[in-house]
C-alpha cells in the first residue's frame, strides 16, 4: 500500500494531492528560506493562525448567500483576507507601538485564532453548519477529498511555486545583504511584502493539506535543515525546496496508505526526520562532524604534549597520550620513546624553540599570532625566514660524557 502510494498508484485524487503536496512543500521550502534568513520565521505562525476567522466568515457568508459553505475555493479566499489582516496587525503593532515583534506575533495569533474559534462555535449552531467539517482545516486532511479540491491544491501549489521562483532573485538579495540590495535600487519593503505574500499563499494552499496549526513547520524546518548542508544562499533555497517537496510527497503518500494517518502531522514528522538526520550527520555543521573534529584536535594536543615530554626526558603519566604515541609508533607501551619518537620529539622541541624566537620578533607579529602550540612552523613562515630564525638558536653544545 505504501509502495503504491509512493509510486502514485492510489488513484487520481491521491496522485493529485501528492503532486500538490510536492509543489506546496517546494514552494514553502523556498519561501521559508527567505523568512529564515531574515530571522522572521515565526511571523508565519501569526499569518497561519489568522486564517481561521477568514474560514469561518467565508462559510457564514457563503451560506447566507445561499451557496454551499464548504466550497474550498471560497474558504481559502476568506482565509487569505484575514491572514492579510493578521499580517498587517503584526506590522502595525511593531511599527506603531513599542512592542517587540514576538509580542505582536503572539498577540495576533492568539486573538485571531480565538475569534476564529468563536466563529466556529457560531457555525456549529447554524442549520447547515453541523457537518461543516471545518475542523479538518486545523490539522489538514486529504482523505475523501473532492476531485475539484485536489485539483485546486495541485494548481495552487504550482502557481505558488512559479511565483516563488520568479521572485527569488530580489528576495535572495534582500535576505543576503539588505544595504547592498537597497543600494542597487530594490525597494526593501516591497520585497518583504512580496515574501509575506508568498507566505500567505503557501499557508492558504496548505490549509487543506497540512492544516493551519502545522503549516508553519513546512516554512521553518526545510530551511533550517538545508542550512546544515551549505553556506551558499543559492544552494540553501534550492536544497530547502527539495527537502520541503520531499517531506510533502512522503507525508502525503504515507498518509494516503492507511487510515488514521493525518496528512499534516505526517508531513511535519517526515520533515523533522530529515532535520534530525542533518543535525547529526551534516558535514561541518553537524554534531557528528563536530565530535570528530573535537576528538582529532584532542589527539593532536596529546601527541604534541607527549612529544615535548619525551624531548625533555620527562615521564608521561597520561595513559591516553602513551596509547596514542604507541599506536603512532613513537613510543613503547611503557612510554619510552622509539627511534622515530626521539626524532619527532627533537623536531617538536626545535619547533617550540623556533616559535619562541618568532614570537619575540616584532616583524613577525602576524605570523606569531598564529601560534597555538601545535601548528608546524614551516606552514607559517618561508624557508628564508626559518633560516633567519635559526640563526638565533643557540649553537649545539658538546654533551658531557
Partner 1 sequence: MSGAEFVPLSLTPILIGVFAAIACALPGNFLVLRRQALIGDAISHVVLPGIVVAFLITGTVTAWPMMIGAAAAALLAVLLIEAIRRLGGIEPGAAMGVVFTTMFAGGVLLLERSDTSTVHLDVEHALMGNLESLIWLDAFGWGSLLDPEALAGLPPELLRMGLSMIGVVAFIWLFWRPLKISTFDEGFAQVMGMRTNLIGLSLVAVSALAAVAAFDAVGSIIVIAMFICPPAAARLMTDRLGAQVGWSVVFATLSAVLGYVLAGYGPLWLGAEDSVSAAGMIATMSGIVLGLAALFGPARGGAQG
Give the residues lining the site for partner 1 (CB under 8 A).
36, 39-42, 45, 92-93, 96-100, 102-107, 109-118, 120-122, 125, 135, 138-139, 213-214, 216-217, 220-221, 223-224, 227-228, 260-262, 264-266, 268-269, 272, 275, 279, 285, 287, 290
State in angstroms the smallest separation of the CB of 256 from partner 1.
Answer: 15
d(C-alpha 378, C-alpha 120), whole Å: 74
| 210, 44 contact by CB (below 8 A) | no
Neighbours of 117 (CB within 10 A): 14
Return the number of the residue (37 or 322) whose C-beta is nearest partner 1. Answer: 37
Quick one: which of 150, 159, 126 has its CA closest to 57?
126
Minimum CB distance to partner 1, residue 400 (Å): 57
Q: How far apart are CA 229 and CA 277, in angstroms?
A: 11
Kindly state the smallest distance separating residue 281's Cβ from partner 1, in Å.
12
CB of 95 to partner 1, least distance (A): 11
Number of residues assigned to the chain: 401
Q: Would you say 21 or 348 has its CB closer to partner 1?
A: 21
Q: How far apart are CA 274 and CA 243, in angstroms?
A: 8
Cell of 190: 516591497
Nearer to partner 1, 123 or 316 (CB): 123
> Quick one: 86 or 335, whose CB is closer to partner 1?
86
DSSP symbol at 337: B
Q: 227 vs 364, which CB is nearer to partner 1?
A: 227
Cell of 71: 466550497
What is the Cα–Cα distance from 328 to 142, expressed in whole angstroms? 61
> Could you tell me the smallest distance in angstroms from the CB atom of residue 21 to partner 1?
15
**Distance, CA of 129 to CA of 62 (rounded, Å):** 11
Question: Which burial class, exposed, middle or buried, applies to 165 when counting CB atoms under 10 A from its CB (0-12, 13-18, 19+)?
Answer: middle
Q: How far, in whole angstroms, is CA 351 from its chain's centroid?
A: 43
End-to-end Cα separation, the chain, in angstroms: 86
Question: Smallest distance from the beta carbon of 139 to partner 1, in angstroms?
Answer: 6
Residue 222's SS3 state is: helix
How far apart are alpha carbons 297 and 304 in whole angstroms? 11
Residue 49 beta carbon to partner 1: minimum distance, rounded to whole angstroms: 9
Please state the closest distance from residue 122 (CB atom) to partner 1, in A. 6
- Across the chain, which distance is largest between two alpha carbons, in Å? 113
Beta carbon nearer to partner 1, 7 or 124:
124
Of 115 and 371, nearer to partner 1 (C-beta) is 115
Of the candidates 248, 259, 250, 269, the one whose C-alpha atom is nearest the C-alpha of residue 205 is: 248
Nearer residue to partner 1 within complex by CB, 241 or 341: 241
Q: Which of 359, 4, 20, 59 is nearest to 206 (CA)?
A: 20
CB nearer to partner 1: pick between 106 and 197: 106
Closest distance of CB 150 from partner 1, Å: 21
Amino acid at each position: 500500500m505504501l509502495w503504491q502510494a509512493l509510486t502514485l498508484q492510489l488513484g487520481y485524487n491521491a496522485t493529485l494531492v501528492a503532486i500538490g503536496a510536492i509543489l506546496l512543500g517546494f514552494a514553502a521550502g523556498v519561501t521559508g528560506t527567505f523568512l529564515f534568513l531574515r530571522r522572521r520565521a515565526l511571523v508565519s505562525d501569526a499569518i497561519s493562525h489568522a486564517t481561521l476567522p477568514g474560514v469561518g466568515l467565508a462559510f457564514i457568508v457563503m451560506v447566507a448567500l445561499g451557496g454551499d459553505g464548504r466550497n474550498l475555493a471560497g474558504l481559502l479566499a476568506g482565509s487569505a483576507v484575514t491572514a492579510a489582516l493578521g499580517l498587517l496587525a503584526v506590522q502595525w503593532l511593531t511599527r506603531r507601538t513599542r512592542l517587540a515583534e514576538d509580542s505582536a506575533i503572539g498577540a495576533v495569533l492568539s486573538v485571531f485564532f480565538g475569534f476564529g474559534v468563536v466563529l466556529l462555535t457560531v457555525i456549529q449552531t447554524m442549520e447547515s453548519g453541523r457537518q461543516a467539517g471545518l475542523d479538518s482545516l486545523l490539522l489538514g486532511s486529504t482523505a475523501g477529498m473532492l476531485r475539484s479540491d485536489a485539483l485546486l491544491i495541485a494548481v495552487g501549489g504550482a502557481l505558488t511555486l512559479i511565483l516563488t521562483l520568479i521572485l527569488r532573485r530580489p528576495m535572495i538579495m534582500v535576505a543576503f545583504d539588505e544595504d547592498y540590495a537597497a543600494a542597487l535600487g530594490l525597494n526593501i519593503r516591497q520585497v518583504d511584502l512580496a515574501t509575506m505574500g508568498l507566505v500567505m499563499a503557501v499557508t492558504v494552499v496548505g490549509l487543506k493539506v497540512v492544516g493551519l496549526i502545522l503549516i508553519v513547520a513546512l516554512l521553518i524546518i526545510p530551511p533550517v535543515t538545508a542550512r546544515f548542508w551549505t553556506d551558499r544562499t543559492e544552494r540553501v533555497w534550492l536544497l530547502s525546496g527539495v527537502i520541503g517537496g520531499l517531506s510533502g510527497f512522503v507525508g502525503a503518500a504515507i498518509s494516503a496508505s492507511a487510515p488514521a494517518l493525518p496528512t499534516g502531522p505526517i508531513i511535519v514528522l517526515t520533515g523533522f526526520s530529515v532535520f534530525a538526520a542533518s543535525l547529526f550527520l551534516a558535514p561541518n555543521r553537524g554534531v557528528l562532524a563536530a565530535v570528530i573534529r573535537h576528538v582529532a584536535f584532542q589527539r593532536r594536543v596529546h601527541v604534541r604534549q607527549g612529544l615535548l615530554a619525551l624531548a625533555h626526558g620527562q615521564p608521561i603519566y597520561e595513559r591516553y597520550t602513551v596509547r596514542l604515541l604507541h599506536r603512532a609508533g613513537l613510543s613503547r607501551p611503557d612510554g619510552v620513546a622509539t627511534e622515530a619518537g626521539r626524532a619527532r620529539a627533537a623536531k617538536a622541541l626545535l619547533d617550540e624553540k623556533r616559535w619562541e624566537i618568532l614570537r619575540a620578533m616584532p616583524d613577525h607579529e602576524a605570523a606569531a599570532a598564529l601560534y597555538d602550540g601545535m601548528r608546524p612552523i614551516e606552514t607559517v613562515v618561508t624557508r628564508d625566514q626559518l633560516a633567519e630564525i635559526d640563526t638565533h638558536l643557540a649553537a649545539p653544545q658538546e654533551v658531557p660524557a
